[in-house]
Amino acid sequence: MSDNQFSSRIGFILAAAGSAIGLGAIWKFPYIAGISGGGAFFFMFVIFTISLGLPLLLGEFIIGRKTGKDAIEAYSTIAPGTKWNLIGYLGNVTVFILLSFYSVIGGWILIYIFKGITGGLTDLSPQGYGELLGSVSGDPLLSIIAHLLFIVLNILVISKGVQSGIERASKIMMPALFVIFIIIIARSLSLENAYAGVEFLFKPDFTKITSQSILFALGQAFFTLSLGVSGMVTYSAYLPKNTNINSSAISIVSMNLFIIILSGLAIFPGVFSFGLKPDQGPALLFNVLPNVFSRIPFGTLFFIAFLVLFLFAALTSSFSMLEIIVNSITKGDNTKRNKWSWIIGLSIFAFGIPSALSFGALSDFTILGKTFFDLADFMVSNFLMPLGALLISIFLPLKMKKEELFSELSNPKPIKKWLFNTWYIIIKYIAPIAIIIVFLDSLGAFNFLKK
Ligand code: PHE
């Protein structure tokens, strides 16, 4: 963000919502819900989003708006001379790894757009679409080039700092994404056996809850809200001091949940109707949606339109990742922006090459039973982001006085005392304890309680 402040609250909401709504809501949510048993996962995800995600989002906004600093300096401003700015370094490392695999999926979208335009997405059967993705993601050169292209798009935008134009575009793209989702959902809900998909997503079967699905639900809640990496600190640092962060946070969380429900409704009816497997992993969206579109008049056109909007949503998230690092280095000195955007961007590209090859040449190369791609995703979503969130929840009540936090949340509009107290108890006790319990549980610490 080179023009150093958001001109309006809506600009900020669009940028922060743009960071939140991305592959996490549209691509990752259905695939993780699919491997984690559906309804019970969705239920836990919603609970985590509202009870921990929203309060932590507010926490990051407080730090950013108060200090006006980057992800690292924000912490040293509040707690000078301490090591708490390690939270910022951790966030930088996390988004570095995150963008390295995020852009692989971004690359797939680019390839699909290209195929769509050149006529490669018509007349396929459900199985045919599966083979198509296999050949796209398994082609080493193609996936590396697409991965590079996605990163370069990020570099071009972040190096020029043209985000304000992108926020303006969001005002059209986000509603358009919504409209196209409604079209897809109208079709997918009228497919044969569609209800099985709706039931899979919304009817919780609590016997399906496992330690892993709880950890995934927590990770997914932080992932979709871009939490724990100080990205929301970075964005809120550009805010005028009297912006209402409370209502902004509520809008962002609601929009995000809304898009997640839409993408679930767009995808799961198709999965069951076409006899596909819900637990097929990262390929899910790419295998299901083309089949839905092929049953809509002018489906290919709609599909291309969807892909473009999907790409836009992914980009507004990935911009924020690169921005966190570039801003941490340049600290507002725009003369350094160009150089560092390229250096960081291309390093992320290089680091992501094994992830780009994880669906083909390196698919058999596994560490701890996971491909590079899966391992990077697992580390970021289920360890590094929750760890960052945990540290932020410890930092806030430790390094800021309760009265100070109260006056931050009461600016510009007084907040009810009981609401503040609820927030404070969540941040100080519930969030850290819950995150630690979920971590320990995933390590098997409570196995003795389970029969
Ligand atoms: N929230 C983004 C998504 O759902 C991912 C993200 C995480 C973006 C962390 C920025 C920082 O796609």
Q: Domains (ranges, CATH) in the chain?
A: 9-348+376-450 (1.10.4160)
Predicted pLDDT of residue 163: 66
Which residues, including other chains, have CB under 8 Å from residue 66's CB and lie 6 or more apart?
78, 408
Predicted pLDDT of residue 208: 86
Question: Could you identify the atom of ligand 1 that is nearest to the CA of residue 20?
Answer: 1
What are the Cα distances from residue 246, in Å, to 67, 75, 201, 231, 406?
17, 21, 30, 17, 12
SS3 category, 333: coil
Nearest residue to 325 via CA among 314, 336, 315: 336
Nearest residue to 50 via CA among 199, 225, 211: 225
Predicted pLDDT of residue 121: 79
DSSP annotation of 69: -
Predicted pLDDT of residue 451: 60
Nearest residue to 142 via CA among 152, 134, 153: 134
Residues 379, 97 contacting (CB under 8 angstroms): yes
**d(Cα 90, Cα 228) in Å, to the nearest integer?**
9
Q: Is 321 in the pocket of ligand 1 (CB under 6 A)?
A: yes
pLDDT tens profile 206-234 = 998 999 999 999 999 999 999 999 999 99
Predicted pLDDT of residue 49: 98
Nearest C-alpha to atom 11 of ligand 1 is from which residue? Answer: 226
Predicted pLDDT of residue 1: 47
Determine the distance separating the centroid of ligand 1 and the alpha carbon of 224, expressed in angstroms. 5
What are the Cα distances from residue 241, in Å, to 114, 268, 356, 371?
44, 43, 42, 45
Containing 442, the helix (H) or strand (E) segment is helix 431-442
- Please identify every stretch of the chain with a pLDDT value under 50, giving residue numbers as ranges: 1-2
Determine the distance separating the centroid of ligand 1 and the alpha carbon of 408, expressed in angstroms. 25
Distance, CA of 399 to chain centre:
28
Q: Is 317 in the pocket of ligand 1 (CB under 6 A)?
A: yes
Predicted pLDDT of residue 13: 87
**d(Cα 400, Cα 19) in Å, to the nearest integer?**
26
